[in-house]
Amino acid sequence: MKKSKRRGRNAVTMHEVAEHAGVSPMTVSRVISGDANVKPETRKRVDAAIKHFGYSPNVAARNLARAASVHIGLLYNNPSAAYMNELLVGVLEHSRKAGCQILLEKCGPRGERAAVEKLMADGVGGIILPPPLSDSRVAIDALKSRDIPFVAVATGRLEGNGLAVRIDDFEAAASMTRHLIALGHRRIGFIRGAPNQHASAERYAGYKAALTEAQLPLRAEWVKQGSFTYRSGLLPSEQLLTAPERPSAIFASNDDMAAAAVSVAHRLNLDVPSQLSIVGFDDTPLATSIWPALTTVLQPVAEMARLAMELLLLEIHERREGRTLGPRQQIMKFEIVKRDSTAAAV
């Protein structure tokens, strides 16, 4: 009774599991952390005991004992709430498994350096860099000069021996363009993403490549600049749709801008998709919440975030041993999701 005063709800500890399995706590610890040197039979007994009690290790104790970095920084300034939301879900999901803390740090357009400093001061062991920060020179330099591990999400470039998780933006954009071409579209407008992000260039390059491949001319007046926000998609869309020879399809570099294109099309009395096809990129929740639902490129953001966490934690562990994962990038599979915003060209 005296003890229970000091103890949480989860009364079952490693010792009890060990006792039940007839081994020492140390062996249980080994089984849990997947150590190799445990006899298969012993392992089985321990596993049974674990299941018997529904035991799950105490994260705080583990972290304390390991002197593990419990803290992962997540720098953000992504304008798309939908994207951020998915990212957060992925990150949190993994943090739950890994038992680590997420320190969210918002950073203004010029505040990258300060934000990094702040996270460092709070003792993070590594940092996750979602777009558009994953392309920020300042942020990356600040991180590198501190020699703190980080993983870039959805960036196109991999520098030094950094870590990155991304999809093949070039191929994805090319695929989507091919899809439009296959639908009979010959006049395909393109709204580019923010110029400071590598993915923007990749997507544009993919679009160009697919056009060339189909021997369609690249018409400069059908390519407009946006910056990944809904708002930034409005003017380009209007320009494209009020041009003397207007495109029969618009490929926006992300869903937010595609949504803007839909809104402009409606304002101009153009029906989507019968008179105009519109496609986006990312497959954020926005794509399915508007009407008509967007045909878009599914980028498994949550999955990518999860992987980013995994990679980062691995690297932190390696670093502690004086090693490093070295340059490593994980390319995820994308998918063309066909919905209601596309139809055969008239």
Give the binding site for DNA (CB under 7 A): 3, 5-8, 10-11, 13-15, 22-30, 32-33, 36-43, 57-58, 61-62, 64-67
Q: Residues 81, 150, 74, CA angle at the centre, nearest 5°?
A: 30
Give the integer Cα–Cα distance in Å for 173 and 159: 23
Answer yes or no: are the C-beta atoms of 112 and 145 closer than 8 Å: no
CB of 35 to its own copies, least distance (A): 18
99 binds, among its own copies, DNA, none (CB under 5 to 8 A by kind): its own copies
Give the integer Cα–Cα distance in Å for 296 and 283: 6
Comparison of 44 and 106: residue with beta carbon closer to its own copies: 106
Please identify which residue in the block is written with the tokens 């899809």.
179
Comparison of 154 and 305: residue with beta carbon closer to its own copies: 305
Comparison of 15 and 231: residue with beta carbon closer to DNA: 15
Answer yes or no: are the C-beta atoms of 237 and 270 closer than 8 Å: no
DSSP-derived 3-state class of residue 99: coil
Comparison of 56 and 196: residue with beta carbon closer to its own copies: 56
38 binds, among DNA, its own copies, none (CB under 5 to 8 A by kind): DNA
CB of 258 to its own copies, least distance (A): 13
Closest to 33 measured CA to CA, from 41, 43, 23, 24: 43
Helices (H) and strands (E) in the chain, counts: 13, 12
CB of 16 to its own copies, least distance (A): 15
Comparison of 234 and 314: residue with beta carbon closer to its own copies: 234
**Contact set with its own copies (CB under 8 A):** 6-10, 54, 56, 58-61, 63-64, 67-70, 79, 81-82, 84-86, 88-89, 92-93, 95-96, 99, 101-104, 106, 121-123, 125, 229-231, 234, 256, 260, 262-264, 266-267, 269, 284-286, 289-291
- 243 by Cβ neighbours in 10 Å (0-12 / 13-18 / 19+) ranks as middle
The encoded tokens of residue 281 equal 């990129």
CB of 22 to DNA, least distance (A): 7
